[in-house]
Structure 1
Amino acid sequence: MDILITHGGLARTRSMHVRPAQLWLILSALVVAMLLLSGTVYHFVFLKAVRDGWPVVSQIVGPVVGRDAVQRERYTRENLDAMAQKVGELQAKLLKLEAVGERVSGLAGLKPEELRALDDAGKASTSGPASELSVAKGAGGGPFVPAAGPSGAQLDQLVELLDTQADRSGDVFVLVESRLLERRLEMLMVPSIAPVDVPVGSGFGFRIDPFNRRAALHTGLDFAAPTGTPIRAAAGGRVLEADRDGAYGLSLQIDHGNGLITRYGHTSQILVQPGDVVRRGQEVALVGSTGRSTGPHLHFEVLLGGVPQDPAKFLARGESLDAAARTSAEVTPATRLRKSR
């Protein structure tokens, strides 16, 4: 394309040759410049004219700008309402979770003052603007539907408050887990599983002595089983004695703490040594017929403060040997340390 440029009748005419690519580049630059100019005029002239109420310009561009503002306001309000709905649903779930936490904490034996300490800490942490919002107490729920529509600042305060409530519920459940684990560990230290998985032959109480045929007190339970049958610890503890003990023959005693001791008599072999720490369900000896015995069996005793107790009262709350072995394997010192973290 050739462009002729002249300044007058006597002036020399100039010729400029423009290639198609250059022409498109010039046109593109002009379009971009016009767009930038239009945006600048719109934002710095038209919007200012509407805000300041210029006599003529504001009346011309006012309806257009007003429609844009209304659309933006509606879009913003719809987003805020959707966020408020989600926040309300989250609040309802947290309230239900808090109610469940209070019930579970009562079952776990948490004292009311411990929960009050958590509440006081939560109140102290929400002493800022979020604490000015009204929060429902006790069980409740339902969506959050504000009367006049929430603002962005109100939603921020609600989210901050819900975050505090979630932290508080998490602390309650951690404390409940700790209490339940303590109880489980206490149960592991109480004789609650039969040392041999066979029926009881002779129970606790008075009976006819098999040797002299006279009435005598039988201070434990007899479990008749073939020689070499494994004997498992009825609870976790420390081996107190493992040696021959008169009428008990080759016997074993395990100290479970708090004056509670279990005795395993007439064994053919002891698999642990004094001072060893054993877990519930661990094999500690083998059935035999040593000492004052008429045949292979285990004589099992439970002593509290040195006084024989009826072992059946302890074993009645127990479980099978296989389940006990799995439980004792799960709750080891390493497991307790990992759970405490």
Structure 2
Amino acid sequence: MRVTITDVARAAAVSKTTVSRVLNGKSEVDVRTAERVRAVIAELGYVPSSRAVGLARGSSRTLAILLPSLTWPWIGEVVQGVADTVEAAGYGLLLFTCHQGEASMARFTSQVSARAFDGLLAIEPDDSLGSLAVLHRKGLPMVVIDDRGRRADFPSVATTNAAGAAAAARHLTATGRRRPLVVTGPLRFGCVRDRVTGFQSVLREAGLPPAGAGIVEGDFTLRRGEESVGRAVAERLAFDSVFAHNDLSATGAVRALHAAGRRVPEDVAVVGFDDIPLAAYGEPALTTVRQPMRAMGERAARRLLDHLGGIAPLDPTPTVLPTELVVRASAPGPAG
């Protein structure tokens, strides 16, 4: 088993911060303490690394963030949370995207090999699971933001997708809606399956069909949301509400309902997911499940920085931040 900075600190009867200062040649440590720490390092055969103590030498003091796209509407909030935290710690931030699939990942992996950065924050792009797993096994410190529920062995920061969807369902049933139409995201994503499960659980509790008026697989785009709801109207499907798995799809649903002469919320209530800035400024303003996107970025960056600083190890235990139902005009409360 590899000797860690914690082992050195324990054997030398000092803090991990003191060990890190000795390794960095800082003058704050008195001579006798520094000599004792160096003797323990030699005795234990400790090999310092940037991952353990964030050495000034051998550390880039730079993190990387890997994004699926810059066009996703909530990406900016996540990146801002990351950037604020990283900058405050005196680190730089490299941004990578995966628009070109395997070619993008190959270029990204070359930067890992060149030690261009000390750790990775990843919003998992499609089809990158294998590449990230290899890098993780090779020792690259990483934290995945919203890992879509597909993996338990990666350090991650996620949100309560099932609970958020359940809150949406409870709100709709409390306002008398009995035939919800659900427009999902891609069902290969764990977060989407969690939202379906959470929503269905409340319908079952209310004695309603778990599929509501129907479940339509979408792709998180405004266009698909509009097309899905427009098709449901054309097929004369009976539904009194729409739960869309993101705000873009929900906005598309509202457009389709208006085009069909349906009033929102009088005829059909609409609930989205995410609470992107657009949600508050639609017509009507969108009831939605708020994901704490900026906080997720902040927490993920903090976990990675604490690891690099030798403060706390990275483990696969996920950090889960709660969602919150935000009630607006598209699906008002019982008194609305």
TM-score category (smaller protein): under 0.3
Higher helix proportion (structure 1 or 2) = 1
Q: TM-score, normalised by structure 1?
A: 0.22
